[in-house]
């Protein structure tokens, strides 16, 4: 039976520092598996839509699609 916990941490000055509190008792022994975090690149969409014109009918279509999906999700939840 595995009761593994997964936490993110940073390695600094020879010590692993977790980003959040770990629920362990003082002195408790653990086994640690270390995986390097993938280098994720942030993509900026700033300026992508600059100068674009959004028509009222486009906004109405998006609202319709969203409301249709929302109603479908509510129905699914109500049926449970």
More confident residue, 57 or 73: 57
Q: Per-residue pLDDT tens for 24-58?
A: 899 999 998 998 888 777 777 777 777 888 888 98
Eight-class DSSP state of 17: E
Residue 9: count of CB within 10 angstroms of its CB = 15
Signed CA dihedral, 32, 38, 44, 45: sign only: negative
Position 1 pLDDT exceeds 50:
no
Q: Alpha carbon of 15 to those of 10, 32, 50: distances in Å?
A: 8, 13, 45
Q: What is the distance between the alpha carbons of residues 69 and 61, in angstroms, rounded to a whole number?
A: 12
């Amino acid at each position: 039976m595995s009761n593994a916990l997964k936490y993110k941490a940073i390695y600094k000055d020879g010590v692993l520092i977790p980003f959040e509190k770990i629920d362990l008792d003082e002195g408790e022994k653990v086994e640690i598996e270390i995986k390097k975090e993938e280098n994720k690149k942030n993509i900026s969409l700033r300026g992508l839509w600059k100068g674009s014109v959004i028509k009222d009918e486009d906004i109405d279509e998006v609202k319709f699609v969203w409301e249709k999906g929302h109603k479908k999700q509510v129905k699914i939840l109500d049926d449970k």
